[in-house]
Amino acid sequence: MSTPIPSPAALLQQALAQLYPHGDVIVNSARPVPALQRRAWAITVQRTDSSAANQHQFLALFLPFIRDETDPAARYERAAQYGLPAPTVLARAEDGTQVVLLCAPPVGDSIANSLQQARAPWEVSAAAVSVARFLDRLHGCSPEDLGIASASLQDSTEAEQRIAQLRAAAEGFPVPVRSIIDRILDWIDEQLLPDGPQVPTLNPPRLAALFAASGEIAYVLGWDQLAVRPPADDIAGLLSELQSFEPALREQFLSVTMAAYLQRRDTSLQDVPARALLAHLERTMTAASARASRANEPDGTAQDEGMATALLRAFRAAQSGLVALARHDLTP
């Protein structure tokens, strides 16, 4: 049975030809790894004149090709150029609409896996400190150097747009739900810092795509998502990444991450709960709209009441601070 090759197969073959110009290589296996990044594939190849012991492994990233400063592939290259832990790009091929980056595979263990395997609090803290150090490095980079300054909105404009969009979407919900949404948005609007620093962010850093080795983040995916935002956005984004873990682990990881980050960087993170709640509200309203659009859906009164109760609890937790919010289940 032949190994399925990710589409477009010609692009992958072009990238492989740069590493194996004589064409003496076959693809032994190719499997998607969406937990790392959308359209990421783990590739194993073998020289046709060698034994199975001489197989070579790569990570293939399929990205849209954009011929300007927003080019996702170029952001990988710029991140590596400025000393950030981007994967080593070994070959690149493009066809005018897509580009494939053939990269060295991840090194170390992902933060998500480290947390899943953690058996002692110090292991959770060690993972949190490594993430804090990485975020400090990322946030200390110049947006201009990473090629993202001119392509990003100022945070005040972006936040205003997100809040306005949610207010408009709330008009389609029943009055009890709409009333709570309006209260939440009013509070978020008051809490957000309008004139805070703007830094390169991944928003959010995906824990499955952060790999640590020897206590430091050594390999990161998701550079195509770089944007200029407040540093609090990356911290807030970690909360949604931690929802599959127990409340005590979420609380410890976030508390240590913030403390270690603030030891290195003189900035304010006081609006992290508001930013986390804004992201949760967006996910909740999107999920509710999707449920409402399904055919043969039963009477939604109970679901509306449940949504109103869940949002109110999340709101109260956010008002109490990040620790309380970390204990709260934010599954939409």
Give a yes or no: residue 267 inside a domain. Answer: yes
Q: What is the C-alpha to C-alpha distance for residues 101 and 12, in angstroms, rounded to an integer?
A: 9
Residues 115, 82 share a domain = no
CATH number at residue 315: 3.90.1200.10
Give a yes or no: residue 149 inside a domain. Answer: yes
Is 255 exposed, middle or buried, given 0-12, 13-18 or 19+ CB atoms closer than 10 A?
middle
Instruction: State which residues form the domain around 59.
Output: 9-103
Residues 195, 61 share a domain = no
Residues 196, 316 share a domain = yes
Residues 210, 132 share a domain = yes
Give a yes or no: residue 4 inside a domain. Answer: no
Residues 118, 62 share a domain = no
Residues 155, 64 share a domain = no
pLDDT at 22: 83
- The dihedral region occupied by 156, where left means phi > 0, alpha psi between -120 and 50, and beta the remainder, is alpha
Residues 123, 96 share a domain = no
Residues 79, 168 share a domain = no
Q: What is the C-alpha to C-alpha distance for residues 310 and 308, in angstroms, rounded to an integer?
A: 6
User: Among the three residues 63, 81, 103, which one is the final residue of a domain in this structure?
Assistant: 103
pLDDT at 299: 55
Q: Which segments of the chain have a pLDDT < 50?
A: 1-2, 151-153, 295
User: Among the three residues 64, 81, 103, which one is the final residue of a domain in this structure?
Assistant: 103
pLDDT at 151: 47
CATH number at residue 53: 3.30.200
Give a yes or no: residue 2 inside a domain. Answer: no
Residues 121, 75 share a domain = no
pLDDT at 124: 98
Residues 320, 188 share a domain = yes
Give a yes or no: residue 1 inside a domain. Answer: no
Overall number of domains in the chain? 2
Residues 249, 187 share a domain = yes
Q: What is the C-alpha to C-alpha distance for residues 242 and 328, in angstroms, rounded to an integer?
A: 11
Give a yes or no: residue 332 inside a domain. Answer: no
User: Among the three residues 103, 135, 163, which one is the final residue of a domain in this structure?
Assistant: 103
HEC sequence for the chain: CCCCCCCCHHHHHHHHHHHCCCCCEEEEEEEECCCCCCCEEEEEEEECCCCHHHCEEEEEEEEECCCCCCCHHHHHHHHHHCCCCCCCEEEEEECCCEEEEEECCCCCEEHHHHHHHCCCHHHHHHHHHHHHHHHHHHHCCCCCCCCCCCCCCCHHHHHHHHHHHHHHHHCCCCHHHHHHHHHHHHHHHHHCCCCCCCEEECCCCCHHHEEEECCEEEEECCHHHCEEECHHHHHHHHHHHCCCCCHHHHHHHHHHHHHHHHHHCCCCCCCHHHHHHHHHHHHHHHHHHHHHHCCCCCCCHHHHHHHHHHHHHHHHHHHHCHHHHHHCCCCC
Residues 265, 117 share a domain = yes
